[in-house]
Structure 1
Amino acid sequence: MPSTTVYNMAGEAVEQLELSEQVFGVTPNMAVLHQVVTAQLVNRRQGNASTKTRSEVSGGNKKPYRQKGTGRARQGSTRAPQFRGGGTVFGPKPHPYHHDVPKKMRRLAIRSVLSDKVANQSLIIVNKLEMETPRTKDMLELLKKLPSSEGKKVLMMLPKRDENVVLSTRNIPSAKVQHVSSINVVELLKHDYIVMTPKTVRWIELVFGEGLSAEEATLKIGDEATAAETSSEA
């Protein structure tokens, strides 16, 4: 069973966290990864490029010169494709670029990337990721304390939105914050290190390991947190 080190906000190793074998310990499927990444990038295209044919270009109703006697090829309109300002032949028209990928393939691609991150020690678990006030300097100090090299791209995934963390990170070009429900293959591959909390790991294991929906996983994590607090008080 794969495991990783859990760090605190000071960058100190505090414990080992066991990870789900079926989520963080699978063999990466490169063919599925390629197909999912291609589909995700294609789906970002708007398909708004448009050109005008000779029937859509304004003007050109008058015959440019008489039919015979000029020694030139006969022409009926200056908006024909061979004239400057004329229409375009076989130019692009607005159309959708959507490429659908089965849900199982998308989830397999996510598991493949996460497993690769664990294998390459690029997954960093922090016991908590929160800030009292939004301050970029504090976030930079935190990133330097964690085992992620300076200048590398870091993606921080939160189980719930923390405005202070978001505001502290938005001016750091090499760092990005997103909610775990927005997890996708392209963002995982774009960043060298992934920073998560144990709650984020638990959410991912529930969704991509046990097959729960995002809403069900969020509710279950909330129930588990409430139960843990109750038992600690008792």
Structure 2
Amino acid sequence: MPSTRILAPNGKQGEQIDLPETLFASPVNESLIHQAVVRQLAGRRRGTADTLTRAEVSGGGAKPWRQKGTGRARQGSRRAPHWAGGGVAFGPHPRGYEQKMPAKMRRAALRGVLSAKQAEGALRVIEGFGLDEIRTRDVIGRLEAWNAEGKVLVVLPARDELVERSCANLREVRVVLAHSLNVVDILEADTIIFTREALARSREVYA
């Protein structure tokens, strides 16, 4: 069973706790994770690109010139796709890009990336931030004490204005709630920080 030590705000190691095997010792299915990532990124697409077909372009009701006798190729409308200013053939139209994926598969992918990050040593479990006021400098000091490098994902059990606003100006720090974890955020993070309560909440939701 994987385990880790609880970190105090000053970086001092505390008691050792066992991590839930269902979250941090699950098999890593790369194809399943890839499917989950593609689904999530596709869902972010707005899908608002639109073009006019020949039926929607204004004008072109009259035949440009008579059928025979001009020496030119016959034409029926100025709205045809091969005319400048004409309609677009097979152009994009507004549509949804959402992809369906069963909940069991989504959770299996999430457990897989959490297990991979834990195996890499990217996981930190803290007692809490211990902030008395909104202060970015204090958060920076704590991240350094916890050896949190690169892009940092902070997982909270519930909304915390002190932590969220203190992290707002840190470009490499992202704060999410335990019940809103997703595969893309976890994969992009170099360090993942759970509070003790967030870890318990994640176990309730995903394990």
The TM-score range, normalised by the shorter chain, is over 0.9
Aligned length: 207
| Structure 1, 187-196 or 39-48: larger mean CA deviation | 39-48
Alpha-carbon distance in structure 1 between the residues aligned to 2:160 and 2:202? 18
Gaps of 5+ in 2: none
Tell me the amino acid that sits aligned with residue 106 of structure 2. Answer: R
* 1:24-35 → structure 2 map (5 Å cutoff): 24-35=24-35
Partners of 2:151 and 2:172 within 8 A in 1? yes
TM-aligned CA deviation for residue 110 of structure 1: 1.2
% identity of equivalent residues: 44
Partners of 2:32 and 2:109 within 8 A in 1? yes
SS at match of 2:110: helix
Partners of 2:131 and 2:162 within 8 A in 1? yes
Partners of 2:39 and 2:99 within 8 A in 1? yes
Alpha-carbon distance in structure 2 between the residues aligned to 1:15 and 1:113? 25
Higher RCO (C-alpha under 8 Å, 6+ residues apart): 2
Report the RMSD for the aligned CA atoms in angstroms.
1.3
Deviations 1:184-213 (A, max 9, x none): 11111111111011111111112222xxxx
SS at match of 2:90: coil
Q: Give the aligned partner of residue 124 of structure 1.
A: 124
Alpha-carbon distance in structure 2 between the residues aligned to 1:138 and 1:162? 15
Deviations 1:59-91 (A, max 9, x none): 122322233222110112211111110001111
Alpha-carbon distance in structure 2 between the residues aligned to 1:129 and 1:31? 36
Alpha-carbon distance in structure 2 between the residues aligned to 1:185 and 1:36? 7
TM-aligned CA deviation for residue 130 of structure 1: 4.0
In proportion to residue count, which structure has more helix? Answer: 1
Q: Give the aligned partner of residue 184 of structure 1.
A: 182
Q: 1:130 to 1:182 in 2, by over 3 A?
A: farther
SS at match of 1:171: coil
Q: Provide runs of 4+ in structure 1 moved above 6 Å.
A: none
Alpha-carbon distance in structure 2 between the residues aligned to 1:169 and 1:124? 17
Q: Give the aligned partner of residue 41 of structure 2.
A: 41
2:162 aligned with 1:164, yes or no? Answer: yes
Q: Give the aligned partner of residue 78 of structure 1.
A: 78
User: What TM-score do the two structures reach when normalised by structure 2?
Assistant: 0.95
Q: Give the aligned partner of residue 198 of structure 1.
A: 196
Q: Give the aligned partner of residue 100 of structure 1.
A: 100
User: What TM-score do the two structures reach when normalised by structure 1?
Assistant: 0.84
Partners of 1:130 and 1:165 within 8 A in 2? no
